[in-house]
Amino acid sequence: MIYLDNAATTQPKKQVVEAMLPYLEEKYANPSSMYEPAIENQRIIGECRQTIARTIGAEEKEIYFTSGGSEADNWVLKGVAHANRERGKHIITTQIEHHAILNACHYLEEEGFQITYLGTDQNGQISLRELEDTIREDTILISIMAANNEIGTLEPVREIGRIAKEHGCLFHTDAVQMYGQLPINVKFLGADLMSASAHKFSGPRGCGFLYVREGVKICPLIHGGGQERHMRAGTENTAAIVGMAEAAKLASQTMQYRIRRETYHRNYLIGRVLREISGVHVTGHRKQRLPGSASFWIEGIEGESLLILLDMKGICASAGSACTTGNTEASHVLRAIGLEEEQAKGSLRVTINENVSIKDLDYFIEILKESIESLRNS
């Protein structure tokens, strides 16, 4: 199998699994209990919080553990909206956000909040001028992703943070695709809130975190016990938190190597595909994109049929977000950047990691050629 769908999920590293095992076996005590094994687990969770905080230039007390990116995104939108509604009920986001953001915004609209959905250019980047023109006196939050999960485009996050601060708005960035792939410092970016998910950087599924700058007003999303300093109820998943912290540490240590390697491999892949296969177009920004992300729309084919043929040859790729698999509608991201519905349905997303070799990509490209030719001739 050649796995080329790392934007959907990544394989947990061996060190991550080994770090988790003791907390799935003998060290299973509930961290909220008062006896020694439980207190030790609470101490370990504190160390993991410190590890995560250091990777983004934050303080330990600004990190809250969640079940993943979707929970973190929902918490930001609903928690900030409800905590700050006396200041205003206007929120700004984009048309190309993950559905965790978009559907949370639709929910808030039903509660009377007003949402502005910014468009993008053909590369998937917002206009900073349009953003600034959209801010109102009652704007309480700007939520714009750091990197798009379908086309890999990077947004001008630092500039967005600057604009938000100048206008007195809170700024949240969904960094699920960027965290662990590119350097992040929340103070440099001007982010007040940031969400991330462990399984996107070789950690376990079902675990993530939310950075909340000290002083930001936000209501809890999940009510119950007093875990996470009374801000996020539920027994802590010690094993997953340990695994996420180990994955974060490893990602930080190997980041510069991976950026160089994946960028070279990505450019090699895109270059060969465009030279050797007619009717293929890159989606997303050619340079300002995630290192391991290559995405295309292909004339004369249907994306899901292509994926079936690739799968038959042992290649795992995708047509877009894994969260919308089975949806017959064209990708909202591809439609937002200007593709017609039929063009968007011919999409292909390839996301590599440091384990993918040139030999793997050569095999993929040859199978891709054969598969596209087969579909176009059928």
> How many structural domains is the chain composed of?
2
- Give the ranges where 8-127 is alpha helix by DSSP (H): 14-24, 36-56, 69-83, 99-110
Instruction: Please give the pLDDT value at position 326.
Output: 57
77: CATH: 3.40.640.10
The helix (run of H) or strand (run of E) holding residue 142 is: strand 139-143
Q: Same structural domain for residues 161 and 31?
A: yes
**Cβ proximity of 20 and 204 under 8 Å:** yes
Instruction: Please give the pLDDT value at position 1.
Output: 94
Instruction: Please give the pLDDT value at position 378.
Output: 86
Q: Same structural domain for residues 334 and 367?
A: yes
Instruction: Please give the pLDDT value at position 320.
Output: 74
Instruction: Please give the pLDDT value at position 90.
Output: 98
Q: Same structural domain for residues 84 and 226?
A: yes
Cα–Cα separations (whole angstroms), residue 117 to 87, 97, 144, 263, 333: 20, 9, 10, 31, 12
Q: Same structural domain for residues 109 and 182?
A: yes
Q: Same structural domain for residues 267 and 236?
A: no
Which portions of the chain are predicted below pLDDT 50? none
Instruction: Please give the pLDDT value at position 323.
Output: 59
- Which domain-ending residue is among 250, 267, 283? 250
The helix (run of H) or strand (run of E) holding residue 376 is: helix 358-377
Q: Which residues are catalytic?
A: 323
Instruction: Please give the pLDDT value at position 322.
Output: 61
Burial 144-174 (b: 16+ CB within 10 A, else e): bbbbbbbbbbbbbbeebbebbeeeebbbbbb
Instruction: Please give the pLDDT value at position 285.
Output: 98
State the distance between the two ends of the chain, measured CA to CA, in whole angstroms: 26
373: CATH: 3.90.1150.10
Residue 137 structural domain: 14-250
DSSP string, 301-368: --HHHHHHHHHHTTEE-BSS-GGGTT--SPPHHHHHTT--HHHHTTEEEEE--TT--HHHHHHHHHHH
Token representation of residue 229: 């300093």
Q: Same structural domain for residues 178 and 263?
A: no
Quote the CA–CA distance of 227 and 245 in Å, as a whole number: 18
Q: Same structural domain for residues 342 and 320?
A: yes
Instruction: Please give the pLDDT value at position 328.
Output: 66
Q: Same structural domain for residues 144 and 41?
A: yes
Q: Same structural domain for residues 62 and 179?
A: yes
In DSSP terms, 194 is beta-bridged to 173, 211
- Which domain-ending residue is among 204, 233, 250? 250
- Which domain-ending residue is among 250, 285, 320? 250
Q: Same structural domain for residues 91 and 221?
A: yes
pLDDT in tens, 264-303: 999 999 999 999 999 999 999 999 999 999 999 999 999 9
Q: Same structural domain for residues 28 and 82?
A: yes
The helix (run of H) or strand (run of E) holding residue 114 is: strand 114-118
Q: Same structural domain for residues 323 and 206?
A: no
DSSP string, 180-193: TTB---HHHHT-SE
Name the phi and psi angles at 357, rounded to 5: -100, 170
